[in-house]
Amino acid sequence: MLIDDHDHIEFSRLEDELDYLLASGVDGIYTNGTSGEFYAQTEDEFDRIHALVAEKCEKARMPFQIGVGHMSAQISIARMRHAIELAPGAIQMILPDWFPVSDEEAIAFLKSMSDVSGPIGLVLYNPPHAKRVLDPAAFGKFCKGVPRLIGVKVADGDKAWYASMHLHLPNVSIFVPGHHFATGSQRGAAGTYSNVACLQPVGAKRWHEWLAS
């Protein structure tokens, strides 16, 4: 996020950055990953950022994904209600992050988000510094319990981790950092993500290609 000396977002520079990305050949734009500092945004800033992103992407016919993550479940749901009005291709979220949630608590939260999102698919962002870092079996359990959950964004692991993810999430998109391989399946995407703002399928491999290499 571009911040001035008074801790205000420089929206004119954000607009320039969006223009640059939209002209660069990426396959999509997403907001509020780690470097977007979603936890530090006011709700007015959240609304203004995403109105700008939606306007720019719709004009350019560019798919976009909105991140509604927040440590507070209530704020995440409120952000979701604003985000769906902009009709993104997907919505990214995190689990409530004040304390490690149980499986039952996580599924209840994800179902609440799914109830609000309507037909829009959900992507669960689970970074290494989350209060609870999920293993492949947990991802599979959550995706089975919440069919609207169509993707996960996560740091990857070794070949055993990839094999386990393939076993537990055969029909869910998996997004990993841009310097690693990213993989997808029948419903999902094969690509990497950049911490600037984009989804970009550079050097991606399918599951069977990675496991056979």
Q: What is the mean pLDDT of residues 122-149?
A: 94
Q: Which domain holds residue 43?
A: 25-212
Could you tell me if residue 76 is inside a domain?
Answer: yes
Number of domains in the chain: 1
Global pTM?
A: 0.81
> In this structure, is residue 164 part of a structural domain?
yes
148 or 191, which is more confident = 148
- Mean pLDDT, the chain, whole residue set: 83
Question: 105 vs 193, which has greater pLDDT?
Answer: 105
195 alpha carbon, distance to own chain's centre: 11
**Domain membership flag for residue 19:** no
- DSSP, collapsed to helix, strand or coil, labels residue 180 as coil
Asked if 60 and 99 count as a contact pair (C-beta separation under 8 A), the reply is: no
Residue 35 belongs to domain with CATH number: 3.20.20.70
User: What pLDDT, on the 0 to 100 scale, is given for residue 5?
Assistant: 77
**More confidently predicted of 79 and 187:** 79
**Residue 161 lies inside a defined structural domain of this protein:** yes
195 pLDDT higher than 90 = no
